[in-house]
């Protein structure tokens, strides 16, 4: 594989740095796997970034749009923006951990300690860790119909749990959305301002957006639901739960930053603080079988199996409550684990994974949804090919 060095986190703090463009991956397994996925599911375009021992390569397949007469650049490039859906939760987690490391809140703090208007209500008794790990007591996957930006507060005030906090994990956009909202509030900022003006620049991610600027719109890939062109619809707490648009290259930088956090070689205060924040997101706060739920990230102890990883990304895991064992809110870094997260919107499918002990990671972005299990399988095949 022909690779080029990807800057470590300490270098990523200079967001205006002019990075060299990584080369295309020379990996037959990657090409075979990507083409098979695209053929099987009719995916118009796919970008894959592979990270190996501090180096990155990118490969692009297909097109960013099948529509004519639009401003979207048809060719997939290192600048192509994809919706990453729930992979956004790992960015929300990083923001929350960043504020936590600055003393903004403790993970055991209750929602009411940050938002006094929640006092005396069930939501007010839920901890920040429980909100971030979907163990607050039964928030639904999506907000109920009729809830909008003007009625979010009323929804949370009137929410009634289905089970005791800390006993069941039920994957939920409102739950981690509220975590992100309160984390930013504890820092005295709006979520969007803190993410776009502080967290992303600190990570050196200069092509990652909550709202794609007009001058970047031509890079924004067109998503597809079947043959229908679609893009993500706005909704309550969308920025916190599924709002990130980014490139495969910026996602690779984010994955590299997560891996670099274990090295302890950051030489600036902001770099050290961000590394601690990222490690905080990796810690397991709740266990469902073999899976540990971190902040955004889900992880599995090595050695693991493909079957185990795929079982953690089923519809059952996303849609049904699962008995959970709550773990300590602090602990030592765990480099010998497989960390991953899937993400989807109506027209996009995303996946990212990394193994700190092997200094390897992968990002797979596509402008069409396809099954989560096949994303995991593809990543497994590609990463294993690096050691052959």
Kindly list the catalytic residues: 86, 171
Q: Transcribe 255-316 into DSSP letters.
A: HHHHHHTTT----SHHHHHHHHHHHHHHS--EEETTEEE-SS-EEEESS--HHHHHHTTSHH
Q: How far is CA 143 from CA 178, 188, 222, 229, in A?
A: 11, 25, 26, 24
> Which of these, 273, 286, 305, 306, lies nearest to 378 by C-alpha position?
306
Please list, residue by residue across 113-152, b when 16 or more beta carbons sit within 10 angstroms of its beta carbon and e when fewer do: bbbeebeebbbbbbbbbbbbbbbbbbbeeebeeebeeeeb
CB-hemisphere CA count at 13 Å for 388? 9
For 109, the enclosing helix (H) or strand (E) is none
Q: Classify strands 45-52 and 4-5 as parallel, antiparallel or unpaired.
A: unpaired
Contact by Cβ (8 Å): 358, 262: no
Which residue matches tokens 């099954």?
A: 371
Residue 229 phi/psi, 5-degree rounding, is -70, 130
Q: Transcribe 336-366 into DSSP letters.
A: SEEEEEEEE-SS-EEEEEEEGGGTEEEEEEE
154/157 Cα distance (integer angstroms):
5
Which residue matches tokens 């990155």?
A: 56
315 CB neighbour count, 10 Å cutoff: 10
Contact by Cβ (8 Å): 166, 326: yes
Task: Determine the angle formed by the axes of helices 88-101 and 173-186, rounding to 10 degrees.
Answer: 30
Beta bridge partners of 188: none
Dihedral-angle region of residue 62 (phi above 0 means left; psi in -120 to 50 means alpha; beta otherwise): left
């Amino acid at each position: 594989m022909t690779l080029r060095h990807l800057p470590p986190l300490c270098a990523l703090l200079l967001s205006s740095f002019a990075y060299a463009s990584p080369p295309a991956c020379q990996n037959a397994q990657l090409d075979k796997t990507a083409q098979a996925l695209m053929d099987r599911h009719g995916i118009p375009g796919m970008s894959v970034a592979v990270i190996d021992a501090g180096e990155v390569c990118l490969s692009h397949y297909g097109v960013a749009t099948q529509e004519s007469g639009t401003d979207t650049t048809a060719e997939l490039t290192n600048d192509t923006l994809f919706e990453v859906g729930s992979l956004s939760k790992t960015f929300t987690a990083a923001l929350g951990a960043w504020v936590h490391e600055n003393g903004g809140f403790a993970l055991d703090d209750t929602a009411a300690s940050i938002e006094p208007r929640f006092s005396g209500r069930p939501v007010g008794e839920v901890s920040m860790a429980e909100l971030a790990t979907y163990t607050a007591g039964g928030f639904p996957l999506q907000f109920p119909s009729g809830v909008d930006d003007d009625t979010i507060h009323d929804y949370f005030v009137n929410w009634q749990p289905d089970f005791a906090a800390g006993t069941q994990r039920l994957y939920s956009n409102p739950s981690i959305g509220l975590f992100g909202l309160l984390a930013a509030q504890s820092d005295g900022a709006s979520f969007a301002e803190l993410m776009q003006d502080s967290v992303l620049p600190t990570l050196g991610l200069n092509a990652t957006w909550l709202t794609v600027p007009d001058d970047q719109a031509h890079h924004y890939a067109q998503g597809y639901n079947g043959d229908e062109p679609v893009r993500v619809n706005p909704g309550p707490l969308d920025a916190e739960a599924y709002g990130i648009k980014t490139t495969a290259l910026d996602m690779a930088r984010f994955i590299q930053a997560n891996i670099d956090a274990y090295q302890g070689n950051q030489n600036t205060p902001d770099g050290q603080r961000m590394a601690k924040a990222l490690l905080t997101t990796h810690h397991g706060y709740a266990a469902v079988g073999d899976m540990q739920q971190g902040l955004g990230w889900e992880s599995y102890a090595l050695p693991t199996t493909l079957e185990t990883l795929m079982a953690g990304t089923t519809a059952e895991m996303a849609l049904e409550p699962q008995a959970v064992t709550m773990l300590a809110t602090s602990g030592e870094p765990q480099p010998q684990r497989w960390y991953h997260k899937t993400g989807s919107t109506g027209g996009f499918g995303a996946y990212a994974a990394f193994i700190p002990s092997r200094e390897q990671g992968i990002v797979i972005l596509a402008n069409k949804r396809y099954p989560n299990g096949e994303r995991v399988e593809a990543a497994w095949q590609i990463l294993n090919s690096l050691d052959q």
